[in-house]
Amino acid sequence: MKYFGIIIFIFLTFCPVTSFASEMVEIPAGQFIMGNDHDSHATPQHKMHLKKFSIDVYEVSNEEFAIENPQHTFWEDSGAHPATNITWQEAQAYCEKIGKRLPREEEWEKAARGEDARIYPWGNKKPRKKPHPFYSGLIKRRVGLNKKDISPYGVRDMAGSIWEWTASDFYKKKITKGGLWNFHLEYEFSKIFDRNLVLSSSRLPFLGFRCAR
């Protein structure tokens, strides 16, 4: 019995992060500020009231997605990386299978932004360190690895990592949120109000998802 605490400590220290990947956080009901007046893609900035909802702390990983979709293949040692190359329909079907759904754009934005209209999940300051090496493809890392990319509610990887499907549409395309922008091999974190528009049937290596409820 006296070793029980040590065993628990070792387990918590070394068990894979994906054990917690389906963890959710509750976002309280209330008002938040959506959009931005200085970005033509996100204007106008406006107040919005949302009911209480929950959202995944982490993006869905390869290992998790493969449990419900055994045909999903990924490179060895990338089980804890965010699952990508998944269509919107497949992402939505996965969420439904486990009793969840895709977040709407406004839910995603509130979960990343909190109530103070910040630009990035961690605040308003652009980080000095570039989020990605000088490279023409996306180098994925295990979900939750970035210790700075945490929203006021504790949601991880909402400015970097990959782009994420939402349940929302704009001009027959799905709104995706929260990935990196590539400026000729230089990368930048996206701002919380940035949105990307993608056809729902697209299967892209920089696009994955997280679930809500």
Residues in contact with another protein by the rule CB under 8 A: 41, 133-138, 163, 176, 179-185, 196-198, 202, 204-207
CB of 6 to another protein, least distance (A): 43
CB of 158 to another protein, least distance (A): 15
15-18 contacts: CB < 8 A, separation 24 or more?
Answer: 16/79, 16/80, 17/58, 17/80, 17/142, 17/143, 17/144, 18/61, 18/63, 18/64, 18/79, 18/80, 18/142, 18/143
CB of 27 to another protein, least distance (A): 26
Nearest CB to another protein, comparing residues 26 and 186: 186
Nearest CB to another protein, comparing residues 100 and 210: 210
Q: Which residues pair with 52 in a beta bridge?
A: none
Contact 62, 72 (CB under 8 A): yes
CB of 94 to another protein, least distance (A): 21
Nearest CB to another protein, comparing residues 67 and 197: 197
Per-residue buried b or exposed e for 144-177, using 16+ beta carbons within 10 Å of the residue's own CB: bebeebbbbbebbbbbbbbbbbbbbeeeebbbbb
Nearest CB to another protein, comparing residues 94 and 163: 163
**Residue 86: closest CA among 187, 210, 196, 192:** 210
CB of 172 to another protein, least distance (A): 12
Nearest CB to another protein, comparing residues 32 and 206: 206
**End-to-end Cα spacing for the chain:** 39
